[in-house]
Amino acid sequence: MSNSAKVWLVTGGSRGIGRAIVEKALAGGNRVAVLARSPNKSNNEKQLNLIADVSDEAQLTAAIEQIISQWGRIDIVVNNAGLHRGGKASRLDLEDWEAVLQTNLTGALQVIRATESHLERGASIINIGAVVGFRGFPGDAAYASSKAGLAGLTRALAIEFASRDIRVNLVIPGLVLTDMTSGLSEKAMDSMRAMIPLGRLGTAMEIADVVHSVASATYMTGAFIPVDGGLMSTFGLPG
């Protein structure tokens, strides 16, 4: 591994935005550990596929140990694993609420706790947020709460880890073309596009491009970076 190559850990890296982040890292000559409940098969020697659920501490610990055993370190952690279960508050099953928070928020913390001792100065942690964490949408209480919590966790850990020169930032995708959105009706897609100043949905690779820029931004920590076609500019970020 060259001096410029990095070891990435990407949770939820088997599809969508996570997969795009993995592909871009590999294309840059890096090594990538893909942590997912059902990772894709790959013969690329620079990709390590690990089966683990971020909400399962034992599975997570075993996966991190395997990365360290094989590559000796972790330079960049991307908390992308996510679970979405909707339902208005009066009808939201508490088991769904707990499952979403366990994956999206507690899972991210567990990944950080499991990797922290292996991160050296200059390491980068990137949490993947969501617009809904800042702008309310009916029927999205669980997901919105988990992503809002992730924003708070990002800022707290950015301060906590700063003395060790470990950066923690939040990338906030907007509406992105994925397997999930591709199944929407044309009417629904038109309605979504109408909310976005750029007039279109983003692509997973456009999000990945920003994640990689943030990973190399050595004077950025505690930052919230929207990648949303201007959607959040219509209501702004909290101070």
Q: What are the tokens at 216?
A: 């190399």
User: Is 143 labeled as catalytic in the residue annotation?
Assistant: yes
In this structure, the number of other CB atoms found within 10 A of the CB of residue 92 comes to: 17
What is the edge-to-edge ordering of all strands in the sheet holding 31-36? 47-51, 31-36, 7-11, 76-79, 124-128, 167-173, 224-227
Q: How many CA atoms lie within 13 A of 89 on its CB side?
A: 6
Given the residues 143, 150, 158, 176, select the one marked as catalytic.
143
C-alpha torsion sign, points 2, 81, 106, 220:
positive
Q: What are the tokens at 40?
A: 């894709």
234 sits in the region (left: phi over 0; alpha: psi -120 to 50; else beta) called: alpha
d(CA 50, CA 141): 31
d(CA 187, CA 197): 18
Cβ neighbourhood burial of 159 (10 Å; 0-12, 13-18, 19+): exposed
The answer to whether 175 and 192 have CB atoms below 8 angstroms apart is yes
Catalytic residue numbers? 143
